[in-house]
Amino acid sequence: MSFGDPNNPYGQQQGQPGSTPPGQPGYGYPQQAPQGVPQQGYGYPQQPGQPYGYPQAPGQGGYGYGSAPSYANWGARFLGTIVDGLVFLVPYLFFIIGVNSDGAISGIFAAIGGLALLGIAIWQLIQEGKTGQTIGKKAVGIRLVREADGQPLGVGMAFVRRLAHFLDSLPCYIGWLWPAWDEKNQTFADKICSSIVIKTK
C-alpha cells in the first residue's frame, strides 16, 4: 500500500479538502510574500526614517543614532541651576543661623542645616547619575546624558563631572558661559566627560 493508493487512509489526493493546492508550500515551509512586498527577516535593515540605537530603559530619554539630540540652550541650563540652588536655600539658612548664633540651640541648627545640605547634595548626585535629572533639570525639562548613546552618566561619572566643573570656574567662569555659543552647548566639564544636556520637552 503506498501513499498514492486511494485505499491508503493516510494519503490525500490533490483536489481533496485539506490538501495543499499545487504550487503552494505546505505546513512548515517558508511562506512567500505577495508580489511587490519585500520580505524582512531577522536583522533586516530598518527603513529610512526609523531611528534606532541602544535600547532605552523605561522612563529614560536616550536619543538613539537615528535622530540628532536636541541640545538644551544656555538659558534652560542656567534656570535649572537656579532651581537647584533654591532647593539648598532653607537648610543653608539653618546652617548659617546655627554657626552665627550663641547658645545650645545654635549647635542644633547648625547640625540640622549641615546634615540636610549633605543629604540633598548626595540625593541630587544619585538622581543625576541614574536618571540624568536633578530637581532643577526636571523642572525645566532637560537631562544630562552621555554623548555616545544618550544614556545617563552613572553616579560615578556624574561625580567626576561635578569635580570637572572646577575648570569651568578657573578662567573667569568662562566655562559656565561656554554653552551659550558652543555647537553642542557644552561646558568644559561636559567636553571632558563626553556628556551633553538635552531637552526632554
Q: Is 154 left (phi over 0), alpha (psi -120 to 50) or beta?
A: left
Q: What value does the mean pLDDT take over residues 151-156?
A: 96
Given a cut of 90, is residue 115 above it in pLDDT? yes
Helices (H), the chain: 74-87, 89-99, 104-131, 135-140, 155-169, 174-177, 188-193
Burial readout 182-201 (b: 16 or more C-beta within 10 A, e: otherwise)? eeebbbbbbbbbebbbbeee
Residues contacting 110, CB < 8 A, separation 6+: 94, 95, 97, 98, 99
- Across 44-53, 80-89, 106-115, 119-128, least confident range: 44-53
DSSP tag of 71: B
Please state, in angstroms and rounded to a whole number, the distance separating the CA atoms of residues 130 and 137.
Answer: 13
Q: What value does the mean pLDDT take over residues 72-98?
A: 93
**Between 29 and 142, the higher pLDDT residue:** 142
**Between 87 and 5, the higher pLDDT residue:** 87
Please state, in angstroms and rounded to a whole number, the distance separating the CA atoms of residues 96 and 91.
Answer: 9
Domain ranges of the chain: 74-199
144's enclosing H/E stretch is strand 142-146
**Between 22 and 54, the higher pLDDT residue:** 22
Q: What are the backbone angles phi and psi of residue 93, rounded to the nearest 5°?
A: -65, -40
Contact status, residue 162 vs residue 191, Cβ threshold 8 Å: no
pLDDT recorded at residue 107: 84
Q: Is-above-0.85 flag for pTM?
A: no
Residue 81, all three cell numbers: 541651576
Q: How many CB atoms lie within 10 A of CB 99?
A: 13
Q: What value does the mean pLDDT take over residues 125-136?
A: 96
Please state, in angstroms and rounded to a whole number, the distance separating the CA atoms of residues 21 and 193.
Answer: 64
Q: Is 64 left (phi over 0), alpha (psi -120 to 50) or beta?
A: left
